[in-house]
Amino acid sequence: MIYLDNAATTRMYEEAVRVYNEYAVNRFFNPSASYQAGLDIAKQLNEGRYLLLKKLGAKKGTIIFTGGATESNNLAIRGSMRNGKYEYVFSVGEHPSVYNVAKELKNQGYIVHFVDLRHDGQVDYQKLEKVLNEKTRLISVMNISNETGAINDLAKIDTLRKKNAPNALFHVDGVQAFCKVNVNVDKYNIDFYTISAHKFHGPKGVGALYVRNPNSLKNIVFGGGQESGFRSGTENVAGIMAMLDAVKQIDIDKNFEYVCSLSKKMTDILGSDENVDILQTESPYILSVGFKGVNGETLMRALQDKGVIVGIGSACSAKKAGNRVLESLGYDKERVKSHIRISFSEDLQLQDIEKAGKTILQTYREIWEKVK
């Protein structure tokens, strides 16, 4: 099998699995306990917070361990809300764990602005500037699109915020960026940054939220007061420690350069057919590719039978009709239906990509001959 849906989830590193087992079986103690073994675990978790802060380029702030990106995004958005006539700004390209929260806020009567995307997949900065004002409480824009690989200009967004909404908080969903590109939350004055372990070879069900100023956040779940009161519930120690181990193993620059070569190889192969539509964006980790006249889901299922696994967009919304992100780029419904998502990992080999690319092209042509 050649797995090309790494934007949905990644294979866990073997060493991270070993670390997970160690803390699940041998060092299983509760970090909230007052005996020494529990205190030792709490100390290791705190050391892990410093590791993540350093990886995020943060000289200050705190790390809240969560159950994953959905929880982190909900905590950042709902936890930063305050009473009053505030306004909340989101791009239409956000992941469902942000976009659906924004829709719910709108349904509840809050003033919510959805900003369109440009044709290259980035947020429309001109339209963003128009909705920002002194009442803006939160701006939430993802770092890298999980659908297209488009990289938003965080520096530009920060500049627009300073100019038009100086009191607004800045939340970035960094799920497809963390440990794939270099991140510096201090440089862009980011207040909240979301990460998810299973996107960078850690376990599922664990993630974190970076918080610049704890005073800007309130808890949304009540309980025993773990994670400085922001996230009650006993910490998933085994998952957290395995996530931290995965972070330690990753060489961002080396991986980025290598994945660029994988993406180029795939692009060269698929781009040889004039009926193939490749959406070119900045992240080499994600390719959105359309195949004229063929339904993307049909192609995905045919490829699965041949041992090549691809996606058809966000795994969190794959069972829903259409694709909100591609539609926001101006694609008509037929063009949207023709797209699949190919996403890479550094553990793939060039020969895997060559084989997969040829298989994808051959399979597409076989289906096209039957339906045209």
Binned at pLDDT 50, 70 and 90, residue 56 comes out as: very high
Same domain, 146 and 225: yes
pLDDT tens digits along 63-89: 999 999 999 999 999 999 999 999 999
Same domain, 262 and 236: no
The dihedral of CA 99, 101, 102, 107: what is its sign? Answer: positive
Same domain, 359 and 269: yes
Which of 39, 316, 318, 367 is labelled catalytic? Answer: 316
**Residues 293-303, buried b or exposed e (16+ Cβ, 10 A)?**
ebbbebbbebb
Same domain, 81 and 131: yes
Half-sphere exposure of 75 (CA within 13 A, CB side): 31
Mean pLDDT of the chain: 95
Q: What's the structural domain count of the chain?
A: 2
Same domain, 80 and 123: yes
pLDDT tens digits along 172-184: 999 999 999 999 9
Same domain, 333 and 236: no
Which pTM does this prediction carry? 0.96
The CATH number that applies at residue 345 is 3.90.1150.10
Per the structure, the complete domain to which residue 49 belongs is given by 14-249
pLDDT tens digits along 215-249: 999 999 999 999 999 999 999 999 999 999 999 99
Contacts of 311 (CB under 8 A, 6+ apart): 4, 5, 7, 8, 300, 318, 340, 341, 342, 343
Domain final position from 191, 217, 249 = 249
pLDDT tens digits along 263-316: 999 999 999 999 999 998 899 999 999 999 999 999 999 999 999 999 996 555
**pLDDT of the residue at 370:** 87
Same domain, 256 and 232: no
Same domain, 330 and 234: no
Residue 260 known to be catalytic:
no
How far lies 208's CA from each of 19, 67, 171, in Å? Answer: 18, 8, 13
With both helix axes pointing from N to C terminus, report the angle between 96-107 and 69-79 in degrees, rounded to the nearest 10. Answer: 30
pLDDT at 372 over 80: no
Same domain, 280 and 146: no
Strand 87-91 relative to strand 111-115, pairing: parallel
Same domain, 260 and 308: yes
Same domain, 55 and 166: yes
Pick from 124, 146, 75: nearest CA to 317: 146
Contacts of 271 (CB under 8 A, 6+ apart): 278
The dihedral of CA 43, 48, 49, 53: what is its sign? Answer: positive
**pLDDT of the residue at 238:** 98
Same domain, 184 and 39: yes
The CATH number that applies at residue 150 is 3.40.640.10
How far lies 218's CA from each of 79, 190, 207, 235, 311, in Å? Answer: 5, 17, 18, 18, 36
